[in-house]
Structures are given as C-alpha cells and as structure tokens.
Amino acid sequence: MRLKELALHLGLSQTTVSRALNGYPEVNEETRQRVLDAARRYDYRPNASARRLATGRAGAIGIVLPTDRNMLLDPHYIEFQAGLGERLMKDEIDIVLSPSKAGDEMATYRRMAISSRVDAVIVSSPTVDDPRVALLNELGLPFVVHGRTNSPLDYAWLDIDNEGAFRHAAKHLLDLGHRRIGLINGETRHNFALDRDRGFRRALAAHGVEVDENLVAEGIMSDETGYRITARFLAQRPRPTALLVSSMMMSLGALRAIRSAGLELGRDISMIAHDDVIPFLNPDAMVPTMSTTRSSIRAAGTRVAELLMELIVEGRSPASIHELWPVDLVVRASTGPAPRD
C-alpha cells in the first residue's frame, strides 16, 4: 500500500498522514493513533521520501568515516562530534555516520546524495586538493567544509587560522632567542598541516633563520608519533632548543622523549603545542604547564552544525559562508629563553 492509498483509506490528506507517521505535533494524538494503527494493519512502511513530503527534509546530517582507521577513537573527531551534536540535538536532527572503505569515499557521498537520507554533509579533514568539494557541488548536496582546500568553487567553509597560529608561535620562540626550532606536524596532505608548515617557514624567513629540513617532520597526531619524532630530533647535534607541535596528543609523546633524554622542558628545551581543547588533555594540568596555540574544536563542531542549519533551513548561500577563526597563543611554563651553549 502506498501513501496515497493509505490517505484515501483514512479520509485524510497525504500531508496529514505523513506528518502523523513522522510524529509531528501539529497532528493530534487521536488522529496520529488512527494513522499508526492503519499503517500497521496494512503494513505500510513510509520511506525517506514520505518523510520529506511532510517536512521537505530528511532531518539528518551525514558524515563519511574512513574505515581504514577508527575515527571514533580519535579525540579530535570525538570533540568535534560532541560540538556538532550539541547544536543538532536542539532541533532533533539525526547524525548519520557512514563508514566507507578507502577509495570508495566518493561512491559513498554519491549514494548519500541519491538516496536523500541526509540533507547535508560535513567534509572533515580536507586534503590540499580535495576532490569532494567538486563532487558534492555537482551532486547538489549541501555541505560545509571543516577546513579549507584549493578549489575554484565558492564553497562553505569554517577554518581556524592555522598559518597565523604557527607563525605567531614560531615568532614567539624566535623572540626568546631560539634558532634551532623543530616542527612536529600533522600530515601535510591535509590542508591544516600545510598551513601550519607555511606559518612556521614564514616566521623563520622573517627572522632570517634558515629552516633545517632535518627538524621538520609529520605523521598522524598520536602520542607515539610525538615520541618517535622528538627522539629523532633530540639525537641530532646541535640539538633543537624548541619544538612546535601540532597537537596536545603528540606533545605527550614529545614530553616523554624529552624526559628520556634527561632534559627539562621549559629550561633545556621549549615547546608550544596546538590545543584543540580536549577535556582530558588540559595544558594547565601538565607538569610543567604547556604553552599552546588554542582553538576549541568542539566550538567549531557546534558552529559547523549551525552553518549547516542555515544552509538547509534558511537557504543561506554557501558562498557567504567563509569563517576564519583567529587562534590564541597562550604562554605557560613550557617555553623559556633559549639555553646558552
């Protein structure tokens, strides 16, 4: 039985039946119950289309998760998701987490667009030249990019000023007299990491300091990567006297490597880490307290949700959505003057 027939049978409009099935408050409880009973009796199972008929929308936001690593274990993703949920919950919008095998991501977005199970999607961790922007544009599926990418299209994005953050942080270390500064970055195939690399290089260039490529390294933003890279940097002679680190998670590993080398953070070596404001990685609770570039990734999640709602509900133009958030430099005890030779 189709919606039309069910509506005819009940002597109600299709819209009323659809609204009743979707639990909309405009329909009184008695009518709702009548519709539900009939739907069960005739085994009518409305689909996403029927839901759209009632609301004009799927009431859901999609996120494609790569299956090659479990993003649900990544504290950066989890904080972003918490912020996103905080906003979407207010309007009872679903979040659809759609896993996708490596290489099959584009087909997953395509399916999402065609099946109309979501009203919009979030593009996370864009690469430097991310093909998803052109695809989603072609598919006509609204989206907001958390980050930026090279594209001739005028797409909606929210990003933090990664270039400025790492430029200021590097400048602060240079002002303290450091000249051998190591950069422990995220993967530069991602735009945020490339921006941080740029900021670092610009600060050094502005001070007439040459970048030592042996002191520039990247990897996934884990404790282990931080440890491994720092241990390698510290084995060099002369040693670096300061480190710029792309996440608090990495800074934990870096700190272990510094201790293993018998060095004292804030005296023998300085460190500034990027702080996404993850509750259990509090830079004030570290010993010594950690100097950071700070921007809440949870707040970014909340704002991305808000922007998505504006795109979908208010029909705001994607081209009008370009938010670049400034990043604080918070100086704590992990940074000090460069040690004398």
Residues that bind a copy of itself (CB under 8 A): 21-23, 36, 39, 45-51, 60, 65, 67, 70-73, 78, 81-82, 84-86, 88-90, 92-101, 104, 107-108, 110-111, 114-117, 280-281
132: left (phi over 0), alpha (psi -120 to 50) or beta: alpha
For residue 9, the minimal CB distance to a copy of itself (Å) is: 16
Residue 12 vs 60, nearer CB to a copy of itself: 60
Beta partners for residue 272, in sequence order: 244, 291
Q: Which is nearer to a copy of itself, 78 or 128 (CB)?
A: 78
The least CB distance from residue 182 to a copy of itself, in Å, is 26
- Cβ within 8 Å of residue 178, ≥6 positions away: 241, 242, 270, 338
Classify 318 in phi/psi space as left (phi over 0), alpha (psi -120 to 50) or beta. alpha
Give min distance, CB of 85 to a copy of itself, in A: 4
* Beta carbon of residue 338, minimum distance to a copy of itself (angstroms, whole number): 32
Nearer to a copy of itself, 94 or 268 (CB): 94
If we measure between CA atoms, which residue out of 18, 6, 27, 104 comes closest to residue 59?
18
Minimum distance from CB of 218 to a copy of itself (Å)?
23
d(CA 34, CA 36): 6
Based on CB atoms, which residue is closest to a copy of itself, 36 or 211?
A: 36
Give min distance, CB of 236 to a copy of itself, in A. Answer: 30
CA 144 distance to own-chain centroid: 11
Helix, strand or coil, per DSSP, at residue 300: helix
Q: 60 or 243, CB closer to a copy of itself?
A: 60
Cα–Cα distances in Å, from 263 out to 196, 241, 253, 255? 26, 11, 14, 10
Indicate the residue among 122 and 170 with the shorter CB distance to a copy of itself: 122
Q: What are phi and psi of 245, to 5 degrees?
A: -125, 135
Whether the Cβ atoms of residue 78 and residue 119 lie closer than 8 Å to each other:
no
Using the Cα atoms of residue 224, residue 228, residue 229 and residue 235 in order, give the sign of their dihedral.
positive
Minimal distance in Å, beta carbon 60 to a copy of itself? 7
Name the minimum Å distance from CB 36 to a copy of itself: 7
Q: List, in order, residues 6 or more apart from 69 with CB less than 8 Å away.
A: 220
CA angle in degrees (0–180, nearest 5) for 302-303-309: 95
